[in-house]
């Protein structure tokens, strides 16, 4: 952790957090500060989850273009949500808020994402074209399934689904936040311990096995951890498709190292920076509420196009 | 010795290797030759547990590959495969350093750094150590991966087509280096080669595969004959004795 770039990132993040907490603070500060602190915590948590999970996912699958969300994860989330509305009804869906729904969401998403990721680990691993194709096809499939399910839903209940279709960093439930944190801490700790092994995984399966790493077992464990992170952060704030791609690319660009003990914290802090500064500027300076997700998607989408159209091969 | 016993391998029902039994002698260089698709890479992959063994058995110095811990095997046997792709942005020095992983599992010690230095020096890579892999030529890249295998400092070194991409100078330098190591009794090397003349010049033992079966094996002088090679590759191949060793004239 003695890397100079990491220290700079850390200092920048602290400054951004201070700006987020104290900028434009007036009147009875206590209550507002508490609100802001909750929001800040959720931004940092989600950012860390998205950044770390994307870097790990790209290392395990051996590519720099695909991310869990591009693999159709966000469309899967929407599908699960609309299926819930369909089976429970809008009222039932709205009532199963809080911890129960959060746990259900997370469990469902983890199961589904594991199934999705396992498709990547077969013989097609390393075949980038095949992986992008699989991702696009599944994204399309989930989206059309969602459209189909939405058609079956009562129009009056449609609004309930619509609410979850876009990421929102606005209102985050503190109980959910605490649960997410309780899950993330051990996951991050485990990934931190596995960081040196991740360096070897990045060499590709053959080299990793040759060096005596239990590659297949480790890859499954890593993808399980990734699905937990992605599932929880999606359940917390909704789908953010391109944030991971943006952050992972920035982390690799900044650090230029194969060492995951440096890459993972860098990705977590960069994601925190992007979210905290973005949300802070939009909310405090521009007085806009829900545009951050849109802006992130815009720049992330541009980056995706650039990468696919051949900026960098891997 | 690597002992291969009744080894068979199928992919999607198609037989790739059929009932292969052979011994690769310890010490010296064993060259595996044969036409494209003969199953050479598959055999190497099975010996190095990159592929699960379906039928038969492989023993490395008496240790059954299927039942030996993969961490332990990594200290006995290193493999450099034919196609290597790396997702991360790696410098040559980092890559060769990863060859030491089986010995330190993430915490390099002074002797690990020393081994990396030796491997870099052996392959003429000291000047390139700070360069990124994706900024190297194919041959330089190949040398970096072989250096990584060497840094692993195992008794056995398996190289799948290591001469690909190498110019004459570096191909010869590589063979001389490997030959020196094997002569000193430090390493036993198994390598897939396409240029039979390299096998004739440097190998102590030649194994020829065809259609997943053993075609012939033995000392280069005895087995590298015009009749055998013509049969193996399905074309007329002349062999002349030049400077005391069989030399294949395959361009004519
Ligand atoms: N993953 C695979 N899927 C299907 N067939 C394969 C696969 N790998 C190898 N083969 C087939 O197995 C045979 C032997 O391959 P290989 O061992 O790579 O040959 P060599 O290295 O001798 O050129 C070839 O016919 C090849 O087409
Ligand atoms: Mg081959």
Helix, strand and coil percent figures for chain B, each rounded to 5: 35, 30, 35
Position A127 pLDDT exceeds 90: no
Mutate which of B97, B101, B145, B154 to disrupt the A interface (most A C-beta within 10 Å)? B101
Q: What is the pLDDT of residue A1?
A: 47
Q: Are A177 and A45 in contact (CB under 8 A)?
A: yes
- Chain B within 8 Å of A58 (Cβ-Cβ)? yes
Distance B20 CA to ligand 1 centre (A): 16
Mean pLDDT, chain B, as a whole number? 92
Instruction: Name the DSSP letter for residue B87.
Output: S
Q: Are A120 and A188 in contact (CB under 8 A)?
A: no
Identify the closest residue of chain A to B68 by CA–CA distance.
Answer: A212
What residues pair up with A101 in beta bridges, in sequence order? Answer: none
Instruction: Among A213, A258, A313, select the one facing B88 at the smallest CB separation.
Output: A258
Could you tell me the two tokens for A23? 């900028």
Position A310 pLDDT exceeds 70: no
Position B230 pLDDT exceeds 70: yes
Mutate which of A62, A206, A213 to disrupt the B interface (most B C-beta within 10 Å)? A206
Distance B44 CA to ligand 2 centre (A): 9
d(CA A165, CA A162): 5
pTM of the shown model: 0.89
pLDDT band at residue A314 under the 50/70/90 scheme: very low
Q: Are B48 and B38 in contact (CB under 8 A)?
A: no
Position A200 pLDDT exceeds 90: yes
- Decide whether any atom of ligand 1 lies within 6 Å of the B10 Cβ: no
Residue found by looking up tokens 């991740």 in the block: A198
**3-class secondary structure, B196:** helix
- Sequence length of chain B is 252
pLDDT tens digits, B38-47: 999 999 999 9
pLDDT tens digits, A22-63: 887 776 778 888 888 988 999 999 999 999 999 999 998 888
Q: Are A76 and A116 in contact (CB under 8 A)?
A: yes
Q: Are A109 and A234 in contact (CB under 8 A)?
A: yes
The residue among A68 and B54 whose pLDDT is bigger is B54
Distance B40 CA to ligand 2 centre (A): 6
Q: Are B65 and B73 in contact (CB under 8 A)?
A: yes
Q: Are B179 and B16 in contact (CB under 8 A)?
A: no
H/E element, A278? helix A260-280
Instruction: Name the DSSP letter for residue B91.
Output: B
Q: Which residues contact A313 (CB under 8 A, 6 or more apart)?
A: B134
Write out the residues of chain B at the interface with chain A, using a CB-CB cutoff of 8 A: 45, 48-50, 70-75, 78-81, 84-90, 94-95, 98-99, 101-102, 105-106, 134, 148-149, 152
Half-sphere exposure of B129 (CA within 13 A, CB side): 18
Q: What is the pLDDT of residue A197?
A: 96
Q: What is the pLDDT of residue A288?
A: 67
Identify the closest residue of chain B to A62 by CA–CA distance.
Answer: B87
d(CA B16, CA A90): 57
d(CA B137, CA B127): 14
Q: Is B235 exposed, middle or buried (0-12, 13-18, 19+ CB in 10 A)?
A: exposed
State the smallest CA–CA distance between residue B155 and chain A in angstroms.
14
d(CA A286, CA B157): 63
d(CA A291, CA A130): 33
Could you tell me the two tokens for B162? 């290591």
Our CA angle for A116, A127, B192, nearest 5°, is 130
DSSP alpha helix (H) spans, chain B: 40-47, 70-73, 92-98, 101-104, 110-122, 138-151, 168-183, 196-202, 220-223, 226-233
Instruction: Among A206, A214, A258, select the one facing B70 at the smallest CB separation.
Output: A214
Position B80 pLDDT exceeds 90: yes
- Decide whether any atom of ligand 1 lies within 6 Å of the B38 Cβ: yes
- Decide whether any atom of ligand 1 lies within 6 Å of the B208 Cβ: no
Q: What are phi and psi of A178, to 5 degrees?
A: -65, -40
Handedness of CA A187, A67, A200, B98 (dihedral sign): negative
d(CA B73, CA B63): 9
Position B226 pLDDT exceeds 80: yes
Q: What single string gives the DSSP state of each residue in A215-261?
A: HHHHHHHHHHHHHHHHHHHHHHH---TTHHHHHHHHHHHHH--S-HH
- Decide whether any atom of ligand 1 lies within 6 Å of the B40 Cβ: yes
Mean pLDDT along residues B90-107: 94
pLDDT band at residue A121 under the 50/70/90 scheme: low
Atom of ligand 1 nearest to the CA of B212: 14
The percentage of chain B sitting over the pLDDT mark of 70, rounded to a whole number, equals 97
Work out whether strand B55-60 and strand B63-64 pair parallel, antiparallel, or are unpaired.
antiparallel
Distance B125 CA to ligand 2 centre (A): 25
State the smallest CA–CA distance between residue B250 and chain A in angstroms.
33
Position A165 pLDDT exceeds 80: no
| ipTM for this model | 0.93
Q: In what order do the strands lie in the sheet with B2-11?
A: B14-24, B2-11, B55-60, B63-64
Position A116 pLDDT exceeds 70: yes
Q: Among residues A176, A272, A187, which one has the least CA distance to residue A228?
A: A187
Distance B42 CA to ligand 1 centre (A): 7
- Decide whether any atom of ligand 1 lies within 6 Å of the B88 Cβ: no
């Amino acid at each position: 952790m003695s890397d100079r770039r990491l220290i700079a990132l850390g200092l920048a993040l602290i400054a951004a957090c201070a700006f987020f907490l104290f900028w434009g603070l007036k009147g009875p500060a206590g209550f507002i500060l508490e609100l802001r602190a909750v929001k800040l915590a959720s931004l940092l948590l989600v950012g860390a989850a998205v950044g770390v999970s994307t870097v790990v996912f790209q290392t395990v699958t051996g590519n720099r273009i695909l991310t869990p969300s591009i693999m159709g994860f966000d469309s899967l989330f929407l599908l699960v949500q609309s299926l819930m509305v369909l089976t429970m009804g809008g009222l039932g869906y709205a009532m199963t808020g809080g911890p129960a729904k959060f746990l259900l969401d997370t469990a469902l998403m983890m199961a589904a994402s594991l199934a999705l990721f396992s498709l990547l680990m077969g013989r097609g691993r390393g075949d980038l074209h095949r992986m992008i194709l699989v991702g696009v096809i599944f994204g399309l499939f989930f989206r059309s399934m969602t459209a189909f399910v939405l058609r079956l839903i009562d129009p009056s209940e449609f609004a309930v689904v619509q609410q979850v279709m876009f990421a929102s960093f606005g209102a985050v439930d503190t109980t959910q936040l605490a649960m997410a944190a309780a899950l993330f801490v051990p996951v991050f700790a485990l990934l931190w311990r596995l960081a040196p092994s991740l360096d070897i995984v990045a060499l590709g399966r053959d080299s990793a096995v040759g060096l005596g790493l239990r590659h297949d077992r480790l890859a499954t464990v890593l993808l399980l951890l990734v699905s937990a992170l992605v599932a929880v952060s999606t359940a917390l704030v909704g789908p953010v498709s391109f944030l991971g791609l943006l952050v992972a690319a920035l982390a690799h660009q900044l650090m230029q190292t194969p060492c995951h003990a440096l890459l993972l914290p860098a990705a977590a802090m960069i994601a925190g920076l992007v979210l905290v500064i973005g949300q802070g500027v939009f909310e405090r300076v521009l007085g806009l509420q829900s545009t951050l997700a849109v802006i992130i998607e815009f720049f992330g989408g541009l980056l995706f196009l650039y990468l696919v159209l051949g900026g960098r091969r891997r | 010795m690597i002992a291969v016993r009744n080894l068979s391998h199928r992919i999607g029902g198609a037989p790739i290797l059929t009932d292969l039994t052979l011994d690769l002698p310890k010490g010296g260089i064993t060259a595996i030759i044969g036409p494209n698709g003969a199953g050479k890479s598959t055999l190497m992959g099975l010996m190095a547990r990159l592929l699960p063994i379906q039928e038969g058995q492989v023993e490395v110095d008496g240790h059954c590959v299927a039942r030996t811990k993969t961490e332990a095997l990594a200290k006995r046997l290193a493999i450099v495969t034919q196609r290597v792709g790396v997702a991360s942005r790696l410098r040559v020095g980092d890559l060769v350093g990863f060859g030491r992983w089986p010995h330190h599992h993430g915490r390099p010690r002074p002797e690990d750094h020393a081994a990396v230095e030796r491997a870099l020096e052996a392959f003429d890579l000291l000047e390139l150590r700070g360069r990124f892999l994706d900024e190297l030529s194919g041959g330089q890249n190949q040398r970096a991966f072989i250096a990584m295998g060497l840094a692993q400092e195992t008794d056995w070194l398996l190289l799948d087509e290591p001469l690909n991409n190498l110019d004459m100078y570096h191909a010869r330098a590589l063979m001389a280096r490997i030959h020196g190591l094997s002569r000193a009794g430090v390493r036993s090397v198994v390598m897939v080669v396409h240029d039979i003349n390299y096998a004739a010049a440097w190998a102590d033992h030649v194994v020829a595969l065809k259609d997943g079966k053993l075609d012939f094996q033995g000392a280069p002088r005895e087995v590298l004959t015009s009749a055998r090679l013509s049969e193996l590759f399905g074309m007329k191949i002349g062999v002349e004795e030049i400077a005391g060793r069989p030399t294949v004239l395959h361009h004519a």
